[in-house]
A and B are shown apart, each in its own frame.
Chain A
Amino acid sequence: MSTASQADPVLVLEGVSASYGPYRALFDVSFSVPAGAVVALVGANGAGKSTVARVASGLVPASAGRVLLRGHDVTRRRAFEIARMGLAHVTEGRSVFGSLTVEENLTLAFRRALGHGGVADALARAYEVFPRLGERRGQLAGTLSGGEQRMLALSRVLVLRQDVLVVDELSLGLAPVVVDEVYEALGTVRSGGTALVLIEQHVNRAFTIADGVVVLHKGRVAYDGDVAGAAARLDELVLGGPPAAAP
């Protein structure tokens, strides 16, 4: 996706490597995300997709390379600083605090970003976009359905209008009808100007809204380009094609 649509990308990874203890997960990964664009990040199980997300949000340190957020080097920043600088990361699986209520989940994020005064307004906006959350504001988030939990996580990003949202396996384990709802919500987030990095098993689904595609294979970038190019040779790329450079 490098410099395809806009001059100043909002998120850039430059030669990033990362390990879990002695186990290396990423090798020299580079790609960039233009402001407001949607990049689908695909690859087989164990290709390193979640690790890319974790390095971007500061959960896992990069052992080499740089991460740039809106032009600022955030490679050595702590996760909470990166979050305050405008990168949201909705993690795989349960991505809300199960022991807190819906309202507490939202308040936790809003208070740091907006101050005490802004919380009430922000809550009202979140409930406006997702009325179902408003109905359940006093309920423990852990007792919400999978789809509702994703809505809760997304509503936070939506209200705060962060610059980038890295979203990991959003549709995993959801019923098809719920997947449609969640994607609708994702569309709302995008129309608010937030760039998306979309990690998704349902590759075709992700391609319908993506502007660009990055394919990871065994911790390396196997493809970085437009959607049509990726769709044409997807099997080869994902299932072990030669780790070639972008066409």
Chain B
Amino acid sequence: MIGCYDFCGHYDWTFDWLERAGGPGLVREYWEQAINQDSQRHARDLIQREGFAGMAKYWGHTLVEESPELGFAITEGKDVFRIDMHDCPSKGFLIRNDLASYQDYCDHCMGWIGPMMREAGFAIDHEHNHQGQCWWEIRPAGSPVEPSATGGLAGRHDVRLRPSWQAPGTALDRYRQAVDPDDKQG
């Protein structure tokens, strides 16, 4: 049986298998169809229906269940929903167990959340450092508002304040007004 306890391990392995079987496009299809439209349809329906309130309900529940040590913070502002992930339970599992089948596991979040937000009329500013730390700012698509300055929205909860955010050897991936994993700016 394939279990849920080590799900992130075989999920990561599956990305690599799909890429070998059908190239990068097949991985994108998988995130969009299998994860956004099927597995996470409860999140998709909730956010399409309730917008920011739906995001608060979905991530409030999911992150607490997956990260009971509360290695994250949620900040709700006017026309913005922000997540600061200080200790990603998913990437953290891979790091602790020395698993890295796929070239960039962190891409999977934009792979399904991006299309979900596009369908719901939102766009995403996002950075991740491949060490289990990232931040997300979700605003209505077409918003002229720039991403917040460090600490400007989340205060002391801003993950960018951590010394480890840009530790030597850490590479940041950046997205601006993105809805697709290939919107990555490097």
Q: Do A and B bind each other?
A: no
